[in-house]
A = this chain, B = another copy of it.
Amino acid sequence: MHFEILILGSNAALPAFDRNPTSQIVHHHDRLFLIDCGEGTQKRFNDFKVKRSRLEVIFISHLHGDHVFGLPGLINSFNLNGRTSRLLIFGPAGLRRFVETSMEISHAHINFEILIHEFDTEEPQLIYENEELSVHSFPLKHRVPTAGYRFEEKRKLRKFKAELISVYNIRHEDIPSIKQGKDYVTAGGEIISNQVLTEDPPLPRSYAFCSDTVYDTDLVPYIKGVDVLYHEATFMTELKVQARDRMHSTSAEAAEIASKAGVKKLLLGHFSSRYRDLSGLLEEARMIFPESYLALEGHYFQVGEN
| Interface residues, chain A, with chain B CB atoms under 8 Å away | 13-16, 20-21, 39-40, 42-43, 46, 63-66, 68-70, 72-73, 76-77, 80-81, 94-95, 97-98, 101-102, 104-108, 143-144
Contacts and interface: CB of A to CB of B under 8 A. Distances in A.
Instruction: Please indicate which of the listed interface residues A21, A69, A76, A98 has the most CB atoms of chain B within 10 Å of its own CB.
Output: A69
A106 B91 CA distance: 12
Contact of A97 (B16, B70, B105, B108): B105
- Please give the count of copies of this chain that the complex contains: 2
B15 A42 contact: yes
Contacts of A101: 97-98, 101-102
A69 B76 contact: yes
Contact of A39 (B16, B70, B107): B70
Nearest to A74: B39
B81 A14 contact: yes
7 contacts: A14-B77, A15-B46, A15-B77, A39-B39, A63-B105, A69-B102, A97-B101
A282 to B, nearest CB: 24
Contact of A43 (B15, B80, B106): B15
A297 B94 CA distance: 35
A47 to B, nearest CB: 9
Given A40-B43, A43-B40, A70-B39, A98 B105 contact: yes
A54 to B, nearest CB: 18
A63 B104 CA distance: 10
A200 B6 CA distance: 63
A8 to B, nearest CB: 13
A23 B104 CA distance: 21
A13 B72 CA distance: 12
A24 B109 CA distance: 27
B106 A46 contact: no
B73 A39 contact: yes
A98 B98 CA distance: 8
